[in-house]
């Protein structure tokens, strides 16, 4: 699979489109609008016996839920941005950056976190503010191997793709 769940799952994409619309007034694409309309209609006509979540087909039995996938994608995006903002990490290979980031978070957890965990605000400098935020909010920090995989992903036009860039023609078709 070359794209993230947000790209391949129309219902999840519709939820992202709605969130973008609500936060930035970006128009909702017609296909997402129709999925959302149908799900709302089903929820309303059933007296919400069918949740919007279930009507969109996002309710799962086992595996990773759509909400969990969104949280993981968000965490991964933060980690990739963090790598680019810390000068010592931005020019390293993915595996070397993952090793350095992993060592940094381990040092933070054992030295600073015990003193800073109960503070109202986290540290002002990176990477410590990210580590504090993750730990404070119970966000799992991946190990070195998984972090290396995450860092290999690129963000393009709001979607995530593994490895190198995907080249599209003027109509959006892959070349």
Task: Tell which wins on pLDDT, 26 or 146.
Answer: 146
Entry pTM: 0.58
List C-alpha distances in Å: 102 to 17, 84, 94, 166, 173. 33, 15, 12, 29, 38
Domain definitions of the chain by residue range: 1-59, 63-175
Q: Is 152 helix (H, G, I), strand (E, B) or coil?
A: coil
Q: Which tens digit of pLDDT belongs to each residue from 98-130?
A: 999 999 999 999 999 999 999 989 999 999 999
pLDDT on residue 66: 65
């Amino acid at each position: 699979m070359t794209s993230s769940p947000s790209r391949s799952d129309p219902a999840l994409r519709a939820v992202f489109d709605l969130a973008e619309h609500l936060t930035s007034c970006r128009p909702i694409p017609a296909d997402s609008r129709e999925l959302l309309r149908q799900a709302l209609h089903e929820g309303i006509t059933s007296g919400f016996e069918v949740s919007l979540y279930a009507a969109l087909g996002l309710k799962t039995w086992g595996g990773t839920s759509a909400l969990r996938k969104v949280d993981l994608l968000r965490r991964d995006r933060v980690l990739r941005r963090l790598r680019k903002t810390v000068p010592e990490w931005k020019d390293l290979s993915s595996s070397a950056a993952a090793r350095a980031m992993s060592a940094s978070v381990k040092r933070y957890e054992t030295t600073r976190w015990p003193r800073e965990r109960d503070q109202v605000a986290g540290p002002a400098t990176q990477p410590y503010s990210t580590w504090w935020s993750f730990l404070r909010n119970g966000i799992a920090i991946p190990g070195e191997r998984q972090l290396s995989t995450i860092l290999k992903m690129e963000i393009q036009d709001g979607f995530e793709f593994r490895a190198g860039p995907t080249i599209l023609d003027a109509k959006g078709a892959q070349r």
